[in-house]
């Protein structure tokens, strides 16, 4: 991102614009049954799409939530690399792992939304987020985050242009994302045409279709690779034991992730079958199908949940048999014939007796040639789509970088110099924000209700709170006895509920706090 700021712009901290981490709290009794209850799982990563809108009647909650208003920016601070940020479409409450932000009137919420999604901000939160498994952006780090402030009028222009450009990007992504499904249907239609004879109809010219109906066992050797159906014991550094789950959608096999079994199992399997070029497996339990050609240059064994098929090259081409068993027509018939209790099953006897229409070897050769040619075309299109998707995915950050470097609005600035300088500059804007926040702080101070503190320990507690380093001890020093839930409510911006329980257990063990009760609820208090 360009470090030379446009005229009238200013680099500052997020905490100078908003009081990051501060939110009004709500419990279930505060909301209506049809109120919106937002959790992080409802937001799609990166895209900022709202996946579902859930109400309080559908999602009753026990823990305290953050309250937000329509138009607020809702920022997911837990695992911030997921880039979960949305603008609220209506009032509601959300998880305390989501921070409501209202930066208006001097900084547009939509401008704030786009800034929180740009690479400069994302790189910062990646560096400062704490927690190994569940990293989160803490309150102090959030306030210290970089923020690039543009003049208010230019913010509006930036938002307008970003809305337009990123809508075009999303439209392009949607069209590209639809192509793999189209290609999948295309491949299936090719296979259907191949095994029905339609693909070679013109090739046959005036000759009639002379295909022979046979049982599959007449065209291939059908083998149960693990007839005991007992899964061998796993051993470290052993031989891969390939299961249906190891067959990947691209036709390859995940040997590294496969179960490893002893060399004795390999010896046993080699005595039962020898793999040849063109052999393939077919899933027979749970997931049916996924006909996958087997490599012959490495050693491995086959699971009991697949059938080994070794085509008889005197009457059939291996690829034709594989295409036949992969076709939608065949798979529909397999599904119809399968036994299904807890999971689908298509036994080896049924596979051997399965009826196959077999053309001559010459026509099989022509069919395989046609299929591979058409599949090659589809593969080429898919590769181009994948490359285009990668470019489009990078386009969003490229556009945001141009927006926050001023490049996107350079022409607009040249046409509107009065709207970005003097009292309209970002520097003047920041002063207005400071003045408003100072006035609000004074107002809050004069209207704040005085809290009742036990007279005997007032001075001692205030002094103690300043000396204590543990946040739970500090809260107990100022608030008195609290339940774990009440402690979490006070510290939700910095500690998760499991963290609160862990800290309480540690403090109890060290005799720094003691168990008590408050209003009939289990609580803890400082041991003074």
Q: How confident is the model at residue 457 (pLDDT cuts 50, 70, 90)?
A: very low
Please count the other Cβ atoms lying within 10 Å of the Cβ belonging to residue 390.
10
The C-alpha atoms of residue 83 and residue 394 are separated, in whole angstroms, by 14
Residue 473: its pLDDT value, please?
A: 87
Q: What is the domain count for the chain?
A: 4
Query: Is residue 257 located within the same domain as residue 383?
Result: no
Q: How confident is the model at residue 262 (pLDDT cuts 50, 70, 90)?
A: very high
The SS3 assignment for 111 reads helix
C-alpha distances out from residue 39 to 60, 62, 212, 409, 414, Å: 12, 13, 60, 35, 43
Residue 452: its pLDDT value, please?
A: 43
On whether residue 180 sits in a domain, the answer given is yes
Residue pair 293/250 in contact (Cβ under 8 Å)? The answer is no
To which residue do tokens 């837990």 refer? Answer: 78
Give the pLDDT mean for 153-179: 96
The C-alpha atoms of residue 257 and residue 83 are separated, in whole angstroms, by 30
The SS3 assignment for 380 reads helix
CATH of the domain at 487: 1.10.10.10
The C-alpha atoms of residue 517 and residue 497 are separated, in whole angstroms, by 19
The C-alpha atoms of residue 285 and residue 270 are separated, in whole angstroms, by 23
Q: Has residue 160 got a pLDDT over 90?
A: yes
Q: Has residue 438 got a pLDDT over 90?
A: no
The C-alpha atoms of residue 228 and residue 267 are separated, in whole angstroms, by 15
What is the rounded radius of gyration, in angstroms, for the C-alpha atoms of the chain? 33
To which residue do tokens 């999948």 refer? Answer: 184
Q: Has residue 463 got a pLDDT over 60?
A: no
Query: Is residue 326 located within the same domain as residue 368?
Result: no
Query: Is residue 136 located within the same domain as residue 199?
Result: no
Of all helices (H) and strands (E), which one includes residue 425? Answer: none
The residue with greater pLDDT, 220 or 499, is: 220
The C-alpha atoms of residue 227 and residue 349 are separated, in whole angstroms, by 12
The C-alpha atoms of residue 159 and residue 83 are separated, in whole angstroms, by 19
Sign of CA dihedral 311, 312, 317, 323: negative
On whether residue 503 sits in a domain, the answer given is yes
Residue 2: its pLDDT value, please?
A: 47
- Give the domain-ending residue among 325, 358, 391: 358
pLDDT digits over 74-124, tens only? 999 999 999 999 999 999 999 999 999 999 999 999 999 999 999 999 999
Give the pLDDT mean for 412-423: 94
Residue 455: its pLDDT value, please?
A: 44
The SS3 assignment for 318 reads helix
Residue 326: its pLDDT value, please?
A: 96
Residue 501: its pLDDT value, please?
A: 86
The residue with greater pLDDT, 508 or 44, is: 44
The residue with greater pLDDT, 392 or 498, is: 392
CA 133 to chain centre: 15
Residue 453: its pLDDT value, please?
A: 41
The residue with greater pLDDT, 134 or 56, is: 56
Query: Is residue 354 located within the same domain as residue 217?
Result: yes
Residue pair 128/108 in contact (Cβ under 8 Å)? The answer is no
Residue 477: its pLDDT value, please?
A: 85
Q: Could you tell me which of 250, 207, 200 has the C-alpha nearest to residue 371?
A: 200
pLDDT digits over 360-391, tens only? 999 999 999 999 999 999 999 999 999 999 99
Query: Is residue 264 located within the same domain as residue 337?
Result: yes
On whether residue 291 sits in a domain, the answer given is yes
Q: How confident is the model at residue 460 (pLDDT cuts 50, 70, 90)?
A: low
Query: Is residue 169 located within the same domain as residue 130?
Result: no
> Which of 264-278, 325-339, 473-487 shows the lowest per-residue confidence on average (mean pLDDT)?
473-487
End-to-end CA distance of the chain: 54
Query: Is residue 374 located within the same domain as residue 508?
Result: no
Query: Is residue 330 located within the same domain as residue 373?
Result: no
Residue 206: its pLDDT value, please?
A: 62
On whether residue 85 sits in a domain, the answer given is yes
Query: Is residue 170 located within the same domain as residue 254?
Result: no
Query: Is residue 14 located within the same domain as residue 132?
Result: yes
User: Could you give the residue ranges of the DSSP H alpha helices within 306-360?
Assistant: 318-326, 328-337, 348-353
The C-alpha atoms of residue 323 and residue 330 are separated, in whole angstroms, by 10
Q: How confident is the model at residue 315 (pLDDT cuts 50, 70, 90)?
A: very high
Residue 325: its pLDDT value, please?
A: 97
The residue with greater pLDDT, 492 or 174, is: 174
The C-alpha atoms of residue 164 and residue 123 are separated, in whole angstroms, by 25
- Give the domain-ending residue among 151, 175, 200: 151
pLDDT digits over 21-34, tens only? 999 999 999 999 99
CATH of the domain at 251: 3.90.220.20
Query: Residue 309 is part of which domain span?
Result: 212-358
The C-alpha atoms of residue 409 and residue 162 are separated, in whole angstroms, by 10
The SS3 assignment for 458 reads helix
Look over the chain and give the mean of its residue pLDDT values, rounded to a whole number. Answer: 91
Question: For the CA atoms of 90, 93, 98, 101, what is the dihedral angle to 10 degrees?
Answer: 50
- Percentage of the residues of the chain whose pLDDT score is greater than 70: 93
On whether residue 343 sits in a domain, the answer given is yes
Would you state the structure tokens that stand for residue 379, as one six-digit string?
């593969």
Cross-strand bridge partners of residue 11: 148
The residue with greater pLDDT, 322 or 465, is: 322
Q: How confident is the model at residue 447 (pLDDT cuts 50, 70, 90)?
A: low
On whether residue 389 sits in a domain, the answer given is yes
Give the pLDDT mean for 179-204: 94
- Give the domain-ending residue among 151, 181, 198: 151
On whether residue 344 sits in a domain, the answer given is yes
- Percentage of the residues of the chain whose pLDDT score is greater than 90: 75
Letter string b/e over residues 292-305, b meaning 16 or more CB atoms within 10 A of that residue's CB: bbbeeeeebbbbbb
Of all helices (H) and strands (E), which one includes residue 101? Answer: strand 98-101
């Amino acid at each position: 991102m360009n470090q030379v700021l446009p005229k009238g712009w200013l680099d500052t901290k997020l905490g100078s614009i908003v009081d990051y981490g501060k939110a009004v709290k709500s419990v279930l009794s505060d909301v209506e049954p049809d109120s919106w209850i937002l959790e992080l799982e409802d937001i799609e990563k990166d895209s900022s799409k709202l996946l579902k809108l859930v109400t309080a009647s559908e999602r009753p909650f026990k823990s305290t939530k953050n309250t937000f208003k329509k138009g607020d920016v809702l920022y997911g601070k837990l695992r911030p690399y997921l880039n979960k940020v949305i603008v609220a479409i209506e009032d509601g409450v959300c998880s305390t792992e989501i921070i409501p932000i209202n930066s208006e009137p001097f900084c547009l919420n939509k401008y704030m939304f786009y800034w929180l999604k740009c690479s400069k901000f994302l790189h910062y939160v990646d560096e400062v987020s704490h927690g190994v498994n569940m990293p989160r952006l803490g309150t102090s780090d959030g306030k210290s985050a970089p923020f690039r402030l543009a003049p208010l009028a230019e913010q509006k222009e930036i938002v307008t242009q970003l809305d337009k450009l990123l809508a075009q990007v999303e439209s392009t992504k949607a069209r590209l994302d639809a192509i793999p499904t189209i290609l999948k249907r295309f491949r299936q239609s090719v296979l259907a045409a191949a095994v029905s004879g339609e693909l070679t109809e013109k090739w046959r010219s005036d000759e009639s279709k002379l295909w022979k109906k046979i049982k599959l066992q007449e065209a291939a050797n059908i083998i149960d690779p693990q007839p005991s159906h007992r899964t061998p014991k796993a051993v470290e550094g052993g031989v891969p034991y390939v299961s249906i789950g190891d067959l990947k959608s691209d036709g390859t096999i995940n040997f590294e992730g496969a179960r490893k079994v002893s060399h004795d199992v390999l010896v046993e399997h080699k005595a039962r079958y020898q793999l040849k070029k063109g052999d393939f497996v077919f899933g027979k339990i749970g997931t049916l199908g996924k006909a996958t050609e087997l490599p012959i240059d490495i050693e491995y064994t086959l699971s009991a949940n697949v059938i080994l098929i070794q085509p008889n090259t005197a009457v059939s081409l291996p690829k034709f048999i594989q295409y036949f068993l992969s076709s939608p027509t065949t798979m529909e018939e397999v599904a119809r014939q399968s036994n299904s209790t807890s999971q689908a099953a298509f036994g080896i006897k049924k596979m051997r007796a399965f009826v196959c229409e077999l053309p001559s070897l010459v026509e099989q050769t022509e069919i395989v040639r046609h299929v591979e040619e058409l599949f090659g075309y589809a593969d080429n299109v898919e590769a181009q789509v994948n490359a285009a998707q990668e470019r489009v995915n990078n386009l969003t950050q490229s556009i945001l970088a141009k927006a926050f470097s001023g490049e996107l609005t350079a022409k607009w600035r040249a046409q509107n110099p009065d709207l970005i300088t003097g009292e309209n500059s970002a520097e003047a804007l920041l002063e207005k924000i400071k003045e408003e926040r100072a006035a609000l702080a004074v107002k809050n101070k004069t209207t704040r209700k005085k809290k009742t503190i036990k007279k005997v320990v007032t001075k001692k507690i205030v002094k103690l709170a300043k000396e204590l380093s543990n946040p739970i001890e500090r809260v107990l020093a100022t608030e008195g006895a609290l339940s774990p839930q009440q402690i979490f409510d006070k510290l939700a911006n910095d500690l998760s509920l499991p963290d609160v329980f862990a800290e309480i257990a540690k403090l109890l063990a060290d005799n720094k706090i003691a168990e008590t009760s408050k209003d009939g609820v289990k609580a803890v208090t400082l041991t003074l």
